[in-house]
Structure 1
Amino acid sequence: MGQLSSIEIKHFKEVREENNFTQSDFAELLGIKNSTADIERGRTKLSGKVVAELLRQFGINPLWLFGQSGQKYLQLSKGDVSPKVITVDSSDNENMVMVNQRAAAGYPHNVQDVEWYQQLPAFDIPLPEFRNATYRGFQIEGDSMLPNYYPNEWVLAKAVPDLDQANNNKVYVVVLQDSVLVKKLQKLPDVSKVLLISLNEEYFPIEVNINEIQELWQVNSKLTFNLDNPSESGLFRELKQSMEDLKRELKSFKKQA
C-alpha cells in the first residue's frame, strides 16, 4: 500500500474543502470507492486517475499537488506550457508516454486529445528520479542537436508548468503549434519571445513567440543505442575539423587562382 507525503495530503484536502465537498461526495466525483478518508489519512496512494480528474475537473496542477510547483491552477493562457493530458496505466498509476518520430508529427494537433494518446506506448520507470512529476519520452529526429543527441535516440523530459520556470541554456522539448523540437532555450529581453538554439552550429537559432509554445519539457536523461561506438562524438569533432580545414584550403586556392 502506497504512502502519501504530508504535502500531497494537505493539498488534496485543501481542494476538497475549498469546493465544499464531503469526503464521500468528493470520492464519488473522482471515481474513488467509498470515501477520501484513507487518502487524507495517508493510508491510500493518490492514483494517477485521481490526479488526472483533479486536473480535468478543477484545473489542479499535478506538479503543485506533489509540491513541485507553486502554481496551483493550470489555465490555458499565455505562459502556460504544462501537459494538457496525463495518462495512467491499468493500476491507475501515472505512466510515461513515448512519442516516436512518426507520432511527433501529429502531437501538436492532438495535444489535448485523450484518445490519441492511448495509441502511444507508455510505461513506468520505478526509479526515484522519475517520481512525483510528469515525464514524457520523445525520439530525436535529424542532426541539429549533434554531438550530444543523435538521430533515433530518445530523450526523457520533465514537464514544465510555465515559462517562468524555464532556465536559460537548458535543453527542452518544445511543442509548437505545428512541430516538436528539441532545442536549447534562451530567454530574450523581449519577454514575449524566446530563442531556440541547436547544438549543431550548422543550424541557425529560431526565434519564436511564447504564445506559439503549447508544452515545454526539460530534458534530463536519454536512451541511447550507440554504446558500441563510444568514440562517435570524438569522430564527429574530427570530421568537423577536417571540413573546416578543407574550407580554408579551398578559400586559399581561389585566392591564388
Structure 2
Amino acid sequence: MEKVTSNIRHLRKTAGYTQAQLAEKLDIKRSLVGAYEEGRAEPKLSTLVNVARLFDITLDELITADVSDSSFRSAAVAGNSQGGKLRVLAITVDQDERENIELVPQKASAGYLNGYADPEFIEELPRFRLPTLGQGGTYRAFEISGDSMLPISSGTVIVGRYVEDWSQIKDGTPCIIVSEKEGVVFKRVYNKLQEASTLRLHSDNPIYSPYEVHLEDVLEIWEAKSYISSTFPIADLSLDKLSSIVLDLQKEMQKLKKVD
C-alpha cells in the first residue's frame, strides 16, 4: 500500500486541501487521513473508492500508479486549471492542521512568480492567522506597492482568498492578480473570459488607464477580503469644508439668538 500512502498525500497537497478538509470530503476522521498518509493504517475499500472518485482517477491508478510523476495528470488536478495550465496551490498549516496565511512582502514578489507552486518557497514566507476570516477558503497576504489603488496606499497588506473558478469573478471585484507579465498587482477585475479570454484590470486611481491580461498569462487570483495598513486614510477635504460651514452657521445662529 506504499503507493496509496504517497498518492493520497500528493493528491491532497496538489489540490490544496488540508488533512481536515480532505477528511470532511471523505466523511472520515482527520486522524485517519494522517494515518493513511504516514502508512500507519490502510484505507477501507470504500474509502479508496471515494478518494478515486474525488480526484477523478481510477481505483487501479490510485493503487498502482505514481500520481506524482510528471507524466500523470488526474482530471481533478487538471480541472483546477485555467488556460490549459496546471495550477498547483502550495500551502502551510499549523500544528492543528489549520491553514496559515502566508505573507508575500514586496521584496519577495518577483520570487513569488517562480516559487508560488513550490512548497519549500511557500514554507519560507512569514505566516500568521486572522480568526475573523473564518474557516472557509485558503488565504494569502500580499504587500502592494504604488499608488494605483488610492486611497489604499503603497505598503498596505491585502489579504485575499484563493479563487479557484475564475469564470465566476464578478465585475468590479478587487483582486490580487499574479501573472507572468505583470507580476503581482492589486486591481479591480472585469471578467472578459467568455468573449475574449481576458481579464480587464482597473485602478481606483483615475490617472491609470485600464488594461487587459490574457488568460494564459494569469497564474493565480486572490479576491481581496481584508487589508492591514499602518497609514490612516487622509480626511476628505470636502467634508472638512462642510463641517466648517456648519460650524459657522451655528455661530451665526447663536449671535442672532443673543440679539433677540
TM range, normalised to the smaller chain?
A: 0.5 to 0.7
Give the Cα separation in 1 of the matches to 2:223 and 2:239: 26
Q: CA RMSD in A?
A: 3.7
TM-score normalized by the length of structure 2: 0.62
Please list the CA deviations of residues 108-166 of structure 1 after superposition, one character each: whole Å capped at 9, or x if unmatched: 12121111112210012223x3312100001120000012x111111111010021121
Picking from 129, 141, 147, the partner of 2:145 is 141
Q: 1:10 to 1:156 in 2, by over 3 A?
A: closer
Structure 1 residue runs without a partner (length 5+): 15-22, 41-55, 62-70, 239-257
Contact 2:179-2:220 at 8 Å conserved across structures: yes
In structure 1, the partner of 2:38 is 31
Give the Cα separation in 1 of the matches to 2:90 and 2:24: 24
Structure 2 residue runs without a partner (length 5+): 1-18, 48-66, 241-260
Deviation at 1:92, TM superposition (A): 3.1
Q: 1:199 to 1:120 in 2, by over 3 A?
A: same
* Larger Rg, first or second structure (1 or 2): 2
Give the Cα separation in 2 of the matches to 1:214 and 1:236: 41
Give 2:109's aligned amino acid. Answer: A
Query: Paired residues, what number?
Result: 194
Residue 158 (structure 1) aligned with residue 165 (structure 2): no
Picking from 2, 7, 11, the partner of 2:25 is 11
In structure 2, the partner of 1:255 is none
In structure 1, the partner of 2:120 is 115
Give the Cα separation in 2 of the matches to 1:8 and 1:85: 15
Identity %: 26
In structure 1, the partner of 2:177 is 174
Give the Cα separation in 2 of the matches to 1:101 and 1:107: 10
TM-score normalized by the length of structure 1: 0.63
Please list the CA deviations of residues 1-58 of structure 1 after superposition, one character each: whole Å capped at 9, or x if unmatched: xxx99x97562249xxxxxxxx97x655423754679xx9xxxxxxxxxxxxxxx969
Alignment of 1:46-195 (within 5 A): 74-78=79-83, 84-127=89-132, 129-147=133-151, 149-178=152-181, 179-188=183-192, 190-195=195-200
